Amino acid sequence: MLWGVQIVGVVLAIGLAPFFMGIAQTVKARRQGRRGPSVLQGYWVLAKTWHKETTAPEFSSWIFRLAPSMSLAALILIVASIPWSGSVPSVWPHNLLVVFFLLALERFWVGLAGMDSAGTFGGLGASRVTTLGTGIEPAMLAAFGLLWALSGHTDIQPLAPELARRSLGALPWGLAALSYVFVLLAEAGRIPVDNPDTHLELTMMHEATVLEYSGRFLAQSQIAVAVKFTAVIALGWVWLGPQLASPWANLGLRLIELSVSSAALGWVESRFVKLRYFQLPAYLAMAAGVGMLALYLVVSGGLN
């Protein structure tokens, strides 16, 4: 039963990832007064890209060819670590710190691929993506600060019941959620950190690392972006959102939450502009500070 729900959950999350991205894009288009493409546009683009010719730049090595598979594998493993039914079989990895390390693994390979493409854009993208990563990783740890303090362990699985049992006040919960949303926008590469729609070299980050990719490799990278988007949103709901007793209902709830969050993100994105690259450390420091504040409010005892 657990295995069944988990497998269905992982397959659905990966399969629906382009759809969730499509929802965000559609909401964004509507907010800009456009009709926008269909929410299924992501699938057509993927299908078209997959059947195009796959090229690799001169001077590139096997690193360039293997990097999309490696980063996609790391992200799929993150989706698999999320307890879609509310809990996972105990032999299966479900550790939040491992998720952080897997995100770092993905970033490492994206960076290597950028350096291996032997051009200016690849190096630029690799530099920007890894620099951004140095801000994201501590901020994400702080965003989960409340969680370490309350649960005392680092498993993803029993978090939500634990938090519910302690019956937090709205304030620390809200601060933790706010902090996580800041980090999520950075990790998923959305406005105000990175603009997924841009193709101008001065503004792009992740896009620069995949500039040399085409065909099947490009499709893999696009799937990876969508899967990451889904994974980081779902990760937030697992510990901040409600839990249902029935595994299938829980899975359904997650999917609804994902759709709603995607729409909300599209709305948020169209309200803001992209920050300057050199303002991003301050942005991420703010995210970390809010997370630490949430932790301090709880542990200082003032709210208990």
Partner 1 sequence: MLILWIVASGLLISLTASKRLLSLGLTLALSIIFLVLAVWGLWGGGSAFLAGPYLALTPVRAWFLLVLGVVSTMSSWYRFGYRQHDETATAFWLPLFMVSMVGVITAQTVWIFMTAWEVMAITSFFLVVAHHDRPGVVKAGYIYLVMSQVSAIAILSGLLLMASAVHSMHFGVWAADARYLPLGVKSWIFGLLGLGFAVKSGIIPFHVWLPRAHPVAPAPVSSLMSGAMIKLGVFGVVQFLLIDLGPTNVIWSVMLLVMGAVSSLLGVLYALMEHDLKRLLAYHSIENIGIIFLGLGVMALGIDWHRPFLMVVGLVASLFHTLNHAIFKSQLFLAAGAVEQHTGTLDAELLGGLIRSMPGIAVGFLMGSMAISALPPFNGFISEWVTFRGLLSIAGGSTGLWAVFGLGMAMVLALTGALAGMCFVKASGVIFLGQPRQPVSHRVIPRSMTWPILGLAVVSLALGVFPSPMVHVIASLAPALRAHAAATPLPLQATVVALALVVVAAVAALLARVWDVREAPRWNCGREVDAAMQFTSSSFTKAVRTTFAVIYRPHRNLTRLGTQSQDFPERLSYHGGTTPTWERYLYRPGYRLAWTISRYSTRMQAGSVRLYLTYLLATIGLMLLFVH
**Cα separation, 224 vs 246, whole angstroms:** 30
CB of 115 to partner 1, least distance (A): 3
176: left (phi over 0), alpha (psi -120 to 50) or beta: alpha
Of 71 and 250, which has the nearer Cβ to partner 1? 71
Binding mask 170-209 for partner 1 (x = CB under 8 A): ----------------------------------------
String of b and e for 53-87 (b: at least 16 CB within 10 Å)? eeebeeebeeebeebbebbbebbbbbbbbbbbbbb
Figure out which of the listed residues 26, 87, 151, 230 binds partner 1, where binding follows CB under 8 A.
Answer: 151
**116 part of the interface to partner 1, by CB under 8 A:** yes
Region from 122-130, 178-186, 188-196, 259-267 binding partner 1, contact rule CB under 8 A: 122-130
Phi, psi of 228 (to 5 degrees): -65, -45
**149 part of the interface to partner 1, by CB under 8 A:** yes
Burial status of residue 8 (CB atoms within 10 A of its CB: 0-12, 13-18, 19 or more): middle
**105 part of the interface to partner 1, by CB under 8 A:** yes
Beta bridge partners of 95: 155
**46 part of the interface to partner 1, by CB under 8 A:** no
Figure out which of the listed residues 27, 76, 225, 253 binds partner 1, where binding follows CB under 8 A.
Answer: 76
Region from 30-38, 95-103, 179-187, 244-252 binding partner 1, contact rule CB under 8 A: 95-103
**246 part of the interface to partner 1, by CB under 8 A:** no
Of 66 and 244, which has the nearer Cβ to partner 1? 66
Amino acid letter at 108? F
Q: Let me know the angle formed at the C-alpha of 32 by 265 and 218, rounded to the nearest 5 degrees.
A: 60
**Cα separation, 197 vs 37, whole angstroms:** 13
Of 153 and 165, which has the nearer Cβ to partner 1? 153
**6 part of the interface to partner 1, by CB under 8 A:** no
**159 part of the interface to partner 1, by CB under 8 A:** no
Figure out which of the listed residues 2, 46, 141, 178 binds partner 1, where binding follows CB under 8 A.
Answer: 141
Figure out which of the listed residues 8, 29, 118, 275 binds partner 1, where binding follows CB under 8 A.
Answer: 118
Tokens of residue 114, six digits: 């950028």
**275 part of the interface to partner 1, by CB under 8 A:** no
**Cα separation, 37 vs 25, whole angstroms:** 8
